[in-house]
Amino acid sequence: MKYCFGVDIGGTTVKLGLFTEEGTLLDKWEIRTRRENFGEAILPDVADSLRKKREEKDIAISEIIGIGVGVPAPVSAEGIVRNTVNLGWGYKEVNKELKKLTELEVMTGNDANVAALGEMWLGAGKGQKNMIMVTLGTGVGGGIITDGRIMTGTNGAAAEIGHISVNDAEMEKCGCGKRGCLEQYASATGIKRLAAIRLSQDEEPSVLRGVQEPDAKAVFDALKKGDAVAEEIVEQFAAFLGYGLANIAVITDPALIVIGGGVSKAGDIMLPYIKKYFLEKAFFANQDTGFAIACLDNDAGICGAAKLMIDNQKTEM
């Protein structure tokens, strides 16, 4: 039996997991992300933690396929990142440095892309080869799997789903400087904005009027109670998201679209709304695209990181 480590480096914590090659998660744990001094301790801390786990479990280096890593930045095919603000890193050769520290093979990918691969391997996308994952969190991110592999692009910046334009008439600016990005409507922040705009338009009664600055959770909770104003807000959110996803589908032709991130915790109740607008806008060849809510939660990153390493090893054999 062969093993593989999956590592998901975030701005606050590093999540780590030990997997079998077949996809059993044997152990998972976390360490703190030490960002001080340009994050110079992060990779040595990861190496230390993995070595201890290896000794604890009595696993030889030869039994380990390698280490897959997800980082919150664009990553080149060689595992090079530039200016990872969240971690304090400037230019960093992740594969090379971590390999030197551990004597193990290393493969690094963007965290959102890697999470998509995780959902495909062990989550909502099990068995799929062509899948979009869209992550609705503070912002909107995502990953695209095509023919079983992460689409990375020339700058490691593929699948920037949050910045597909869905509203040419928008006047407010997105964080990226453009106007009309999907992120302005489908992120947690975006839904909060849609709610504030809707509530300011008239005095129609709504349970949301009793909530100060209603957020995405409040909106979906109100929807579950049958609140008509909340439903209008969800329709707006779904219209922009469905439109954006239809445009991504006509380019990538996925079998399945997985919705993840904090906003997706509202659950299956959002799917019929998203599907309705997707079908209205989707090309005929994409009408059978499936939809599912992500199910790995915070483990998607470590799962996908391990899978990235496992797949890469197979390619090299």
Where along the sequence are the contacts to its own copies (CB under 8 A)?
Answer: 74, 77, 129-130, 144, 146-147, 149, 151-161, 163-165, 167-168, 176-178, 243, 246-248, 250-255, 281, 283-286
Q: Choose among 77, 36, 25, 37: nearest CA to 16.
A: 25
Residue 37 or 315 having the CB closest to its own copies: 315
Q: How far is the CB of 152 from its own copies (least distance, A)?
A: 7
Q: How far is the CB of 279 from its own copies (least distance, A)?
A: 11
Q: Choose among 57, 41, 46: nearest CA to 7.
A: 46
Q: What is the DSSP letter of 174?
A: P
Q: Are 168 and 189 in contact (CB under 8 A)?
A: no
Residue 102 or 289 having the CB closest to its own copies: 289
Residue 248 or 303 having the CB closest to its own copies: 248
Q: How far is the CB of 132 from its own copies (least distance, A)?
A: 9
Q: Choose among 16, 234, 260: nearest CA to 125.
A: 260
Residue 49 or 165 having the CB closest to its own copies: 165
Residue 53 or 129 having the CB closest to its own copies: 129
Q: How far is the CB of 250 from its own copies (least distance, A)?
A: 5
Q: How far is the CB of 57 from its own copies (least distance, A)?
A: 34
d(CA 220, CA 3): 41
The alpha carbon torsion through 253, 258, 261, 262 (nearest 10 deg) reads 130
Q: How far is the CB of 289 from its own copies (least distance, A)?
A: 8
Q: Which residue has the tokens 């068995």?
A: 127
Give the burial string for 283-292 (b: 16+ CB within 10 Å, else e). eeebeebebb
Residue 80 or 255 having the CB closest to its own copies: 255
Q: How far is the CB of 166 from its own copies (least distance, A)?
A: 8
* Chain centroid to CA 94: 20
Q: In what order do the strands lie in the sheet with 13-20?
A: 25-32, 13-20, 3-9, 64-71, 106-110
Helix (H, G, I), strand (E, B) or coil at 244: helix
Helix (H, G, I), strand (E, B) or coil at 175: coil
Residue 196 or 285 having the CB closest to its own copies: 285
